[in-house]
């Protein structure tokens, strides 16, 4: 493949404006804080705290202006080939110690959805098992036979189990490409919890056929089937906010787009020639197999001259997500290690500048919480380093000089940072109300109530996530390997005892923050309450949010009108679950 065409002028303009705005916002926060910090005398911690404010504010501003780009721009129309589907496409479903009843029911639903398009013969499903548990593997073989019987999928649905799971998911897919990739022009890569409409798969192939230089096309999956309070809030947030953020991302990334590891289609020869992953020298967490392989594969495709694109307009792409904060944090631990591992790759030869910036963004996503925690610690300790106030700076002047109050600057800085967090979501709400998109989320009033409640919930849980992410970063930096644990499925309900066992250290940290602040900086206690109080209440918040949701809030489009492939999946899973129960009873 030759050198890819340069990004369009619109992409450059969007990138430049967004980056400039984020830097200006961060610079303003830096200057305002320096003025505030120096009001009682300049000390050694003031430049450190200002630098931490700059880094943290830049990350928040970047997200805010990405949303603004999504609200104010529209990607150009994409070409598609309207003719008959001729090339063969492999639908890859990697599994690792998953429940085969649930996973194979999704495959049965997708196969039926493809048959409805009339192009099922152009798609083959490949179940790629990396399962290490022999009991689960035996059930996989049993339910694979049931899958074949129900779908008449002989010759179109395949199953193989690797004897070694070297390279984990990336190695699993690489093994398939080496053995069978030449038989297919495209591969749709899914996760075990992915679900996709047959018409969406066909449309993805049409778009790939119309763009010979397109190496990877990423969809924006919607979260479905959430049942807990936490799960439904995340499901609503993903469905309501994510399309806007994804559109802004698409406008900035252009031909150097993202790969999120699943619910995407790749050109087989491009992927095979460009995306061989090295095993990094040294031991994990920074050495060994690359965990966040998807970001690297996207960068390697772009380096080889292939376009990588996200089409946020593609519908019919779904996934499931963790039902509680603890399961979310466990998955996030792996992502943290993978993103920090990219520090070994950010200067790899030949990468596009934007690919390097994406690696930096991924690293910042996990370092930013550490910056915030360091800022809080430095602010509490600041009185130990502050010089004594000199009320008589002018010799022989009999009247004291009282320092000017800088409360207005502190308040302005707090409001500015809060605005970066809340304003993009409120603008998305306004846009949804004006354009009619709110109807898919229960109407304008329900969308308003859901958005405000989500903002409250995200504010309360932000300190908890901050602590989990900070711990993950520190674990990686001290050399602890988080491995690749299997995903937790099921309803995810946690008792208070379970929540306490997982978060008691957060409670202790919150208590220490308040006590230390009261001792060293009593004037900060009130400002620290929005951070420290949720930490003290972490077990209650974690347990409460894991319980089933019975509110009408957080309604999403797929709950109002389930997609056809969702109905197919539910019917298949219900029938198979009943049969599995009968078999187990026998």
Residue 432 inside a domain? The answer is no
Mean pLDDT for 311-336 is 95
The candidate with the shortest Cα–Cα distance to 277, out of 299, 302, 308, is: 299
Q: Give pLDDT tens digits for 364-396.
A: 999 999 998 888 888 888 777 665 554 445 555
The candidate with the shortest Cα–Cα distance to 359, out of 279, 277, 290, 295, is: 295
The whole-angstrom separation of Cα 566 and Cα 316 is 10
Among 114-118, 179-183, 406-410, 415-419, which stretch is predicted with the lowest mean pLDDT?
Answer: 406-410
Q: What local confidence, expressed as pLDDT, does residue 39 receive?
A: 59
Residue 199 inside a domain? The answer is yes
Instruction: Give residue 453's Cα distance to chain centre.
Output: 21
For residue 405, pLDDT beyond 70? no
> Which residue's structure tokens are 């219900």?
574
Q: What local confidence, expressed as pLDDT, does residue 162 receive?
A: 94
CA terminus-to-terminus distance, the chain: 58
Mean pLDDT for 436-443 is 95
Q: What local confidence, expressed as pLDDT, does residue 27 receive?
A: 93
Q: Domain range holding 234?
A: 89-324
Among 92-96, 151-155, 390-394, which stretch is predicted with the lowest mean pLDDT?
Answer: 390-394
- With pLDDT > 90 as the criterion, what percentage of the chain qualifies? 71
- CATH number of the domain encompassing residue 257: 3.90.550.10
Phi-psi region of 254 (alpha: psi -120 to 50; beta: other; left: phi over 0): left
Q: Which residue has the higher pLDDT, 73 or 146?
A: 146
Residue 238 inside a domain? The answer is yes
Among 334-338, 493-497, 509-513, 524-528, which stretch is predicted with the lowest mean pLDDT?
Answer: 524-528
Alpha helices in 321-352 (DSSP H): 325-341
Q: What local confidence, expressed as pLDDT, does residue 586 receive?
A: 46
Residue 118 inside a domain? The answer is yes
Q: How many CA atoms lie within 13 A of 278 on its CB side?
A: 11
3-state secondary structure of 128: strand
The candidate with the shortest Cα–Cα distance to 143, out of 200, 192, 176, 195, is: 192
CA distances from 166 to 60, 96, 285 (A): 37, 12, 16
CA angle 452, 313, 308 (to 5 degrees): 115
Q: Are 338 and 291 in contact (CB under 8 A)?
A: yes
The whole-angstrom separation of Cα 471 and Cα 124 is 42
DSSP code of residue 548: B
> Which residue's structure tokens are 């930490």?
535
Q: What is the mean pLDDT of the chain?
A: 89
State both tokens at 203.
Answer: 């449309």
Residue 277 inside a domain? The answer is yes
Q: Give pLDDT tens digits for 177-230.
A: 999 999 999 999 999 999 999 999 999 999 999 999 999 999 999 999 999 999
Q: How confident is the model at residue 129 (pLDDT cuts 50, 70, 90)?
A: very high
Among 21-25, 43-47, 120-124, 303-307, which stretch is predicted with the lowest mean pLDDT?
Answer: 43-47
The whole-angstrom separation of Cα 27 and Cα 303 is 33
Q: Are 227 and 323 in contact (CB under 8 A)?
A: yes
What crossing angle do the helices spanning 325-341 and 496-520 adopt, rounded to 10°?
A: 70
Residue 264 inside a domain? The answer is yes
For residue 409, pLDDT beyond 80? no
Q: Give pLDDT tens digits for 442-481.
A: 999 999 999 999 999 999 999 999 999 999 999 999 998 8
Q: What local confidence, expressed as pLDDT, does residue 486 receive?
A: 61
Residue 1 inside a domain? The answer is no
Q: What local confidence, expressed as pLDDT, does residue 402 receive?
A: 42
Among 165-169, 329-333, 456-460, which stretch is predicted with the lowest mean pLDDT?
Answer: 165-169
For residue 403, pLDDT beyond 50? no
Helix (H) or strand (E) holding 160: strand 157-161
For residue 577, pLDDT beyond 70? yes
Residue 160 inside a domain? The answer is yes
Q: Are 360 and 295 in contact (CB under 8 A)?
A: no
For 207-259, give the secondary structure using H, E and C. HHHHCCCEEEEECCCEECCCCEHHHHHHHHHHHHHHHHHHHHHHHHHCCECCC
Looking at the structure of the chain, the number of domains it has is 1
């Amino acid at each position: 493949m030759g050198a890819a065409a340069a990004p369009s002028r619109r992409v450059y303009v969007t990138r430049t404006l967004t980056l400039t705005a984020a830097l200006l916002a961060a610079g303003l926060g830096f200057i305002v804080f320096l003025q505030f910090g120096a009001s009682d005398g300049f000390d050694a911690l003031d430049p450190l705290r200002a630098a931490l404010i700059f880094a943290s504010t830049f990350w928040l501003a970047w997200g805010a202006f990405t949303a603004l780009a999504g609200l104010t721009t529209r990607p150009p129309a994409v070409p598609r080939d309207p003719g008959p589907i001729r090339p063969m496409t492999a639908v890859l479903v990697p599994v690792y110690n998953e429940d085969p009843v649930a996973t194979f029911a999704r495959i049965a639903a997708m196969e039926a959805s493809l048959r409805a398009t009339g192009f099922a013969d152009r798609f083959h499903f490949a179940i790629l098992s990396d399962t290490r548990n022999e009991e689960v593997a035996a059930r996989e073989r049993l339910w694979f036979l049931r899958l074949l019987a129900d779908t008449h999928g002989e010759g179109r649905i395949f199953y193989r189990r690797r004897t070694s799971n070297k390279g984990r998911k990336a190695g699993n897919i690489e093994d398939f490409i080496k053995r069978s990739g030449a038989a297919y022009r495209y591969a749709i890569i899914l996760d075990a919890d992915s679900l996709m409409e047959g018409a969406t798969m066909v449309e993805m192939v049409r778009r790939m056929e119309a763009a010979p230089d397109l190496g990877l096309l990423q969809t924006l999956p919607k979260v479905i089937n959430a049942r807990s309070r936490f799960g439904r809030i995340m499901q609503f947030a993903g469905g309501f906010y994510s399309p806007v953020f994804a559109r802004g991302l698409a406008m900035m990334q252009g031909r150097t787009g993202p790969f999120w590891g699943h619910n995407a289609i790749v050109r087989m020869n491009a992927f095979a020639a460009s995306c061989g992953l090295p095993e990094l020298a040294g031991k994990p967490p920074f050495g060994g197999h690359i965990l966040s392989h998807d970001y690297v594969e996207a960068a390697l495709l772009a380096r080889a001259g292939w376009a990588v694109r996200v089409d946020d307009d593609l519908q019919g792409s779904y996934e499931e997500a963790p039902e509680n904060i603890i399961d979310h944090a466990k998955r996030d631990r792996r992502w943290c290690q993978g993103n920090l591992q990219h520090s070994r790759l950010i200067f790899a030869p030949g990468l596009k500048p934007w690919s390097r910036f994406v690696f930096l963004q991924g690293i910042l996503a996990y370092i930013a919480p550490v910056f915030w925690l360091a800022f809080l610690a430095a602010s509490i300790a600041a009185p130990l380093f502050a010089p004594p106030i000199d009320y008589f700076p002018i010799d022989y002047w009999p009247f004291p000089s009282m320092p000017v109050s800088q409360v207005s600057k502190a308040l302005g800085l707090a409001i500015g940072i809060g605005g970066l967090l809340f304003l993009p979501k409120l603008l998305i709400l306004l846009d949804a109300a004006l354009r009619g998109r709110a109807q898919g989320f229960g109407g304008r009033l329900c969308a308003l109530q859901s958005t405000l409640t989500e903002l409250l919930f995200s504010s309360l849980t932000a300190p908890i996530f901050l602590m989990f992410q900070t711990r993950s970063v520190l674990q990686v930096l001290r050399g602890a390997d988080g491995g690749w644990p299997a995903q937790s499925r099921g309803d995810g309900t946690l008792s208070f005892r379970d929540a306490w066992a997982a978060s008691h250290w957060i409670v202790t940290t919150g208590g220490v923050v308040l006590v230390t602040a009261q001792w060293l900086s009593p004037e900060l206690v009130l400002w620290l309450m929005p951070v420290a109080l949720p930490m003290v209440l972490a077990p209650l918040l974690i347990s409460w949010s894991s319980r089933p949701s019975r509110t009408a809030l957080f309604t999403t489009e797929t709950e109002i009108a389930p997609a056809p492939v969702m109905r197919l999946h539910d019917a298949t899973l219900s029938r198979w679950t009943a049969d599995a129960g009968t078999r187990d009873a026998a």
